[in-house]
Amino acid sequence: MQIQDAISLIKTEEFFEDTKTKWADLGCGSGLFTRALASLLYPGSLIYAVDKNVGPLKIPDSINSVNVEIRKSDFTSDSFYLKDLEGILMANALHFVFEKKTFLNNTKTWFREKPVFLIVEYDTDNPNPWVPYPLSFPTLKNLFTELGYSRIKKLHQTKSLYNNANLYSVMISL
């Protein structure tokens, strides 16, 4: 996937305000979606780029005047936390979380106000070694509905090279 593809997948006017915000990109991998998010945030905003393996990250400290702070950490660990976030981006990361309800409930204290998620996932429920705990859009929608989230909006969808399953993006808030 190229940077323009990643931007197109997560772009929505509903999240990105004309003010500085603080986001976390959990499971940021190579930083592709960190760069995409930075292109959409207001200058002076901050993104925490979090991954267990930060070695391959080639993310500068600032992208489009958005500050990036790299954190080497397992975001699924009970001891991991952030605070005062406006949003969490999880692009191909939620499918690594086994206890999704527990994890998502734990993140509620990380937000300044209402929790806001921007999620990119494979539209399948069939696991494999690379996607151990997948969730199709209907499964994701049920999960967040059970947790009390009322705004669950599918944004975009694109073909994926993976196993004939499309990638979808979704915006979620209380």
pLDDT tens, 32-84?
Answer: 999 999 999 999 999 999 998 876 667 888 888 999 999 999 998 878 889 99
SS percent in the chain: helix, strand, coil, step 5? 20, 30, 50
Determine how β-strand 62-63 pairs with β-strand 66-72. Answer: antiparallel
* Count of domains forming the chain: 1
Mean pLDDT of the chain: 91
Decide: 63 and 71 in contact? Cβ < 8 Å.
no
Question: Which pLDDT value is given to residue 150?
Answer: 93
Question: Which pLDDT value is given to residue 159?
Answer: 87
With cut-offs at 50, 70 and 90, classify the pLDDT of residue 142. Answer: very high
Q: Can you give the CATH number for the domain in which 89 is found?
A: 3.40.50.150
Residue length of the chain: 174
Decide: 111 and 86 in contact? Cβ < 8 Å.
yes
Provide the residue range defining the domain that includes 145: 3-8+22-173
Name residues whose C-beta falls within 8 Å of residue 42's C-beta, 6 or more positions apart in sequence: 16, 17, 18, 19, 20, 21, 66
Instruction: Establish if 128 belongs to a structural domain.
Output: yes
What does residue 138 show for φ and ψ, rounded to 5 degrees? -60, -40
Instruction: Establish if 15 belongs to a structural domain.
Output: no
d(CA 37, CA 88): 10
Predicted confidence (pLDDT) per residue in 13-25, tens digit:
776 678 899 999 9
Instruction: Establish if 16 belongs to a structural domain.
Output: no
With cut-offs at 50, 70 and 90, classify the pLDDT of residue 1. Answer: confident
Terminal C-alpha separation, the chain: 30
Q: What ranges make up the beta strands (E) of 64-115? A: 66-72, 87-91
